[in-house]
Amino acid sequence: MLILSMSTFISFILPTIVMIIATTLSKKIINDREKSSPFECGFDPKSSARMPFSLRFFLIAVIFLIFDVEIALILPIVIIFKTSNIMIWTTATLFFIMVLLGGLYHEWNQGALQWAD
């Protein structure tokens, strides 16, 4: 019984002493404002939070996401080539690619793809 109580006492006291020593030794004397501020993906955290956002950058990002999802939709077309009717497969594939090209032409015609004016 004495061994059990001693091991319980040591298993609680020893980690407590180690944690107290670690916290006292890890205290920094100089608190650096730059290191204690949160990191915000390259933005200066001391500047105004209401800085203007580039709408053109947002449009390019949305166009990229749309075309990225459409590329993911094109990949299964190659897989189902062997198991489907060739005429239906060709018609569906050409229609899908024509819709993609029509969207790309519309974005290009509207000037959304020109980054610098």
**DSSP letter string over 77-114?**
HHHTTTTS-HHHHHHHHHHHHHHHHHHHHHHHHHTTT-
pLDDT at 67: 80
Answer whether residue 31 shows pLDDT above 70. Answer: no
Average pLDDT over residues 64-91: 86
Q: Where are the domains of the chain?
A: 53-117
Mean pLDDT of the chain: 79
Tell me the mean pLDDT in the region 1-7.
Answer: 84
Which pLDDT score, from 0 to 100, does residue 91 have?
92
Q: How confident is the model at residue 71 (pLDDT cuts 50, 70, 90)?
A: confident
* C-alpha to C-alpha distance for 65 and 61, rounded to whole angstroms: 6
